[in-house]
Amino acid sequence: MIVPKSHPRYESLLLREKITDCLKEGVISEAGIAAHGRGEAFDYFLGEKTTDEANKAIKAAAEMLCKAKNPVISVNGNIACLVPKEIVELSEIVPLKIEINLFYRTREREVKIKKRLEKYRAKEILGVGDDANEIIPGLDSLRGKVSREGIFSSDVVIVPLEDGDRALALKKMEKRIIAIDLNPLSRTSLCADITIVDNVVRVMPKLIEEIKKFKEKKIEENLEFDNRKNLKESIKIMKKNLSNWEKKFNQR
């Protein structure tokens, strides 16, 4: 499909194309497509741009990652599809571990995601096959599988597009959680320590930039961050956008 650049949903249609290609390749599950659609709807309400609130959350996340002892990024099909290059760059600059952690786990998809990340020069990838040798307490054996060196023993986990049950179970293990989720009302967003309410494709390059600044000591340390307040502000932005659109609609 060729999307004309002038199309008002150009960026969004390009992402859809990526997502459907990844479904054909077996990197994304069918449920992953539905999750992407839910994200699109919230992105529309958000105005499809990074808000000041998201920028604050990104800065706080950069600091938390740089100060962590064993930080891990939890990778599912959607993010391996959308931001493979950035996952690898993040793993190098923090540095942090990459762990494949799938809601619909199959050996075939684990391997496909691993190969996709290796194409972008990922070196070590945890959570594949027998490496997913531990279980997160409270989850069934397929959904709870994690790697001992990775998520199981981590102190900070970054979970882009995570399911609420798993995020809550990780919280019970006393992990600190950084979520990237366009829905400020999801259970994942509500239970995370830092929720970045923004599209993962916009967040990852900005997060990498902030980490570089933090490493070069160009940013303030011990940033104060209140997740509940930040989520409330993100909801307000969506409400404001909707009421502006309603006004315009009424004037037609």
Residue with tokens 């502006």, as numbered in its chain: 244
Give the binding range for ligand ATP (CB under 6 A) out of 6-14, 37-45, 116-124, 241-249.
37-45
Told to check if 53 binds ligand ATP by CB under 6 A, we report no
Name the site residues for Mg ion (rule: CB under 5 A). Answer: 163-164
Q: At closest approach, how far in Å is the CB of 143 from Mg ion?
A: 11
Nearer to Mg ion by Cβ, of 43 and 86: the residue is 43
Site for ligand ATP in 113-172 (CB under 6 A): 161, 163-164
Site string for ligand ATP, 170-209 (x = CB under 6 A): ----------xxxx--xxx----------xx---------
Task: Pick one of 28, 29, 39, 116: the residue that binds ligand ATP (CB under 6 A).
Answer: 39
Rounded to the nearest 10 degrees, how much is the dihedral formed by the CA atoms of 94, 224, 69, 184? -70
Q: How far apart are the first and last CA of the chain?
A: 33
Nearer to ligand ATP by Cβ, of 63 and 181: the residue is 181
Q: From residue 10, how far is each of 3, 4, 16, 76, 205 by CA, in Å?
A: 7, 7, 10, 25, 20
Nearer to ligand ATP by Cβ, of 91 and 189: the residue is 189
Q: At closest approach, how far in Å is the CB of 125 from ligand ATP?
A: 21
Nearer to ligand ATP by Cβ, of 94 and 191: the residue is 191
| Residue 234 contacts which entry, Mg ion, ligand ATP, none (Cβ below 5-8 A, type-dependent) | none
Q: At closest approach, how far in Å is the CB of 206 from Mg ion?
A: 25
Nearer to ligand ATP by Cβ, of 185 and 236: the residue is 185
Q: At closest approach, how far in Å is the CB of 57 from ligand ATP?
A: 12
Q: At closest approach, how far in Å is the CB of 149 from ligand ATP?
A: 26
Cis link prior to 84 (omega < 30° from 0)?
no
Residues that bind ligand ATP (CB under 6 A): 35-36, 38-39, 42, 161, 163-164, 180-183, 186-188, 199-200
